[in-house]
């Protein structure tokens, strides 16, 4: 008897299958910066005995530094994923004034806007949020960097915070290419391959960090009109979570 597609039921992937898929996805992302590091180092080695080649050496060193930074970031993401999955991601929350905290983050991080403008909008009388400052900084940084990456030069990026009942709603809006409706359900998924390449781990980590803070994250987007990533934070003290489940 031939089994039809209608009779066949999808079964969830096993742990081994998930690990194999994850390894397959990350292999290319790790190999590319490693190849750039190797090529730059080999070129420097070859030209050392050829006399002064300042510009070429500077370009090689820049490539090595950029690739090393990218590898370091990916390793950090992998370590955080591991801590997320085993429930050991620490959360130490305290009352935070978003009107003071978010502008301070932007000043300290010196985000490379590269021709984009950043606008801040805070509702008057915004209540204090209950959040871990380190996790909140990472969430804000990840969402802002994603907005910069997908926004055309010269377009504005809006960082907004408003009260929403017993919560505070923070959103980051860009005017980039946006996403089709069918891609939205997996925009924050762990094992995904975004159209621009890469693993998309930052958004998955952002989602889990927001959940660890007692909030939820969602994305709204339309092709050609940009995207808005919004997340909530409790604005009343709650029992701090000791980790992610």
**Measured distance CA(126)–CA(82) in Å, rounded:** 35
- pLDDT: which is higher, 106 or 201: 106
Q: Residues, the chain, total?
A: 245
- Angle value at C-alpha 206, between 202 and 212, nearest 5 degrees: 145
Question: β-strands 167-173, 94-96: how paired?
Answer: unpaired
Average pLDDT of the chain is: 76
- pLDDT: which is higher, 107 or 53: 107
Place of tokens 């190999």: 31
Percent of the chain at pLDDT > 70 equals: 72
- Does residue 238 register a pLDDT over 70? no
Q: Is 207 exposed, middle or buried (0-12, 13-18, 19+ CB in 10 A)?
A: buried
Q: Helix/strand/coil (H, E, C) string of 144-203?
A: HHHHHHHCCCCCEEEEEEEEECCEEEEEEECCCCCCCHHHHHHCCCCCCCCCCCCCCHHH
- pLDDT: which is higher, 155 or 48: 155
Sign, CA torsion 83/234/103/118: positive
- Does residue 180 register a pLDDT over 70? yes
- Does residue 4 register a pLDDT over 60? no
Q: Which residues lie closer than 8 Å to 181 by C-beta, 6 or more apart? A: none
- Does residue 109 register a pLDDT over 80? no
pTM of the model: 0.67
């Amino acid at each position: 008897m031939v089994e039809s597609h209608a009779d066949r039921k999808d079964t969830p992937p096993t742990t081994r299958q998930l690990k194999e898929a994850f390894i397959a996805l990350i292999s290319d992302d790790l190999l590319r910066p490693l190849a750039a590091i190797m090529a730059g180092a080999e070129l420097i080695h070859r030209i050392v005995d050829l006399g002064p080649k300042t510009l070429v050496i500077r370009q090689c060193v820049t490539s090595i530094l950029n690739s090393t930074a990218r590898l370091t970031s990916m390793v950090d993401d992998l370590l955080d994923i591991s801590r997320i999955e085993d429930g050991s991601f620490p959360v130490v929350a305290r009352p935070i004034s978003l009107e003071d905290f978010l502008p301070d983050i932007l000043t300290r991080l010196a985000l490379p806007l590269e021709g984009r403008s950043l606008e801040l909008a805070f509702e008057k009388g915004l209540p204090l949020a209950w959040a871990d400052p380190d996790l909140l900084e990472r969430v804000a940084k990840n969402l802002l960097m994603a907005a910069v990456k997908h926004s055309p030069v010269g377009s504005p990026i809006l960082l907004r915070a408003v009260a929403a009942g017993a919560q505070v709603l923070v959103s980051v809006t860009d005017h980039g290419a946006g996403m089709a409706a069918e891609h939205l359900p997996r925009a924050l998924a762990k094992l995904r391959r975004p159209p621009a390449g890469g693993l998309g781990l930052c958004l998955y980590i952002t989602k889990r960090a927001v959940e660890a803070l007692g909030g939820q994250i969602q994305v709204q987007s339309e092709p050609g009109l940009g995207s808005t990533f919004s997340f909530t934070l409790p604005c009343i003290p709650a029992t701090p979570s000791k980790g992610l489940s």
